[in-house]
Structure formats: structure tokens, C-alpha cells
């Protein structure tokens, strides 16, 4: 019997394990999924790997909110934003939740919503319509004079304008 044939399965297992370990070292942990008023939401996007992850999973969520501060030719992603989302009846479905990164995704039911986001005492309001089976996205963009340092917020400079 050929010894190398006996070692092939063991070699495959060892090589597969090494490949799995190498891939795992580059994996990004999911930001935690939270629930309030029966609505799941996830926030994150600090760092390029996590931002890429959030952009990748965004189409799988009914609603994505993106937060940034515009400064003439570039944009800084904003974090530590307080968010309230109200349904068309004015009922808060997300009530004063903290978006820890520049993205907040929520499993909102189809309908019309008002998004209220506060960064450094400056509040923006925007309408958002979630259609069945189609992801909705809203960019909340504060003016350049918004002082993120006063909130202790972190920002990440974008080489392109947030989408």
C-alpha cells in the first residue's frame, strides 16, 4: 500500500485548516444587532473593513441611513449620531438610538417614515419611504460647521462623497 495515499486526507485537512485560519484572520465581526419596539437595527462602519462590510450587507436590510459632514470638496463620515425614526402616524419605531458608526440599518416595515438625526446639537429631518422588497437609503449630511469634536464623535475622511 502506498503511504502517500494514506496521507492525502490528512494533508487536505491540514491545508484546509490553514486556509480557514488565514481567511478568519481577515474576517470582520458583525456589529451587534439590537432591537427596540420590535425593530431590529445594526450600526457601525468605523474603519475601512467594517465600512466595507456595512456597505456589502446594506442591500439586505429594508432601510439604510448614512451620516456624514460635508466640508467643501470632501466628506467625513459621522458617528455617535442620535436617531429617532417615526412612522406615518408619528409613533417612534426607533427612539433616540445611538448610531455608533456612519451607517445604521433597520428592518423597517414598508411605509413612510420621518428620520430625525442629531449630531452635536444639530438635528436633521428627512423623509424615507420603504417599499416592499426594495432597500431604501437616506444620506443625512450636516454642513461643514457641525462641530463633531464637541460630541466626542469620531469621523473618517472619505476619499469620495458618501453614497
Tell me what pLDDT residue 21 has: 41
Q: Region 68-93: what's the mean pLDDT?
A: 91
Q: Report if pTM > 0.85.
A: no
Q: Are 163 and 66 in contact (CB under 8 A)?
A: yes
pLDDT over 90 at 131, yes or no? yes
Q: Region 143-147: what's the mean pLDDT?
A: 80
Looking at mean pLDDT, say which of 24-33, 65-74, 79-88, 145-154 comes out highest. Answer: 79-88
pLDDT over 70 at 139, yes or no? yes
Q: Among candidates 105, 160, 161, 114, which has minimal Cα distance to 136?
A: 105
Tell me what pLDDT residue 28 has: 64
Burial 77-104 (b: 16+ CB within 10 A, else e): bbbbbebbbbeeeeebbbeebebbbbbb
Ordered by start, the domain boundaries in the chain are 33-158
Q: Are 54 and 45 in contact (CB under 8 A)?
A: yes
Query: Does CATH number 2.60.40.10 belong to domain 33-158?
Result: yes
- Retrieve residue 41's grid coordinates: 437595527
pLDDT over 70 at 149, yes or no? no
- Which positions ≥6 away from 76 have C-beta within 8 Å? 68, 69, 148, 155, 156, 157, 158
Helix (H) or strand (E) holding 85: strand 81-87
Q: Are 69 and 119 in contact (CB under 8 A)?
A: yes
Tell me what pLDDT residue 39 has: 97
Tell me what pLDDT residue 37 has: 93
pLDDT over 70 at 66, yes or no? yes
Amino acid at each position: 500500500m502506498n503511504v502517500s495515499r494514506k496521507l492525502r486526507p490528512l494533508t487536505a485537512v491540514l491545508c484546509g485548516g490553514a486556509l480557514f485560519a488565514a481567511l478568519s484572520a481577515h474576517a470582520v465581526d458583525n456589529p451587534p444587532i439590537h432591537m427596540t419596539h420590535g425593530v431590529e437595527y445594526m450600526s457601525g462602519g468605523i474603519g475601512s473593513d467594517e465600512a466595507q462590510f456595512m456597505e456589502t450587507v446594506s442591500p439586505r436590510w429594508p432601510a439604510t441611513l448614512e451620516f456624514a459632514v460635508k466640508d467643501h470638496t470632501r466628506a467625513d463620515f459621522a458617528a455617535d449620531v442620535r436617531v429617532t425614526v417615526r412612522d406615518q402616524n408619528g409613533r417612534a419605531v426607533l427612539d433616540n438610538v445611538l448610531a455608533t458608526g456612519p451607517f445604521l440599518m433597520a428592518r423597517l416595515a414598508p411605509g413612510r417614515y420621518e428620520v430625525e438625526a442629531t449630531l452635536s446639537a444639530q438635528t436633521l429631518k428627512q423623509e424615507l419611504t420603504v417599499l416592499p422588497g426594495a432597500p431604501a437609503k437616506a444620506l443625512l449630511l450636516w454642513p461643514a460647521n457641525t462641530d463633531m469634536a464637541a460630541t466626542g464623535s469620531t469621523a473618517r475622511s472619505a476619499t469620495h462623497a458618501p453614497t
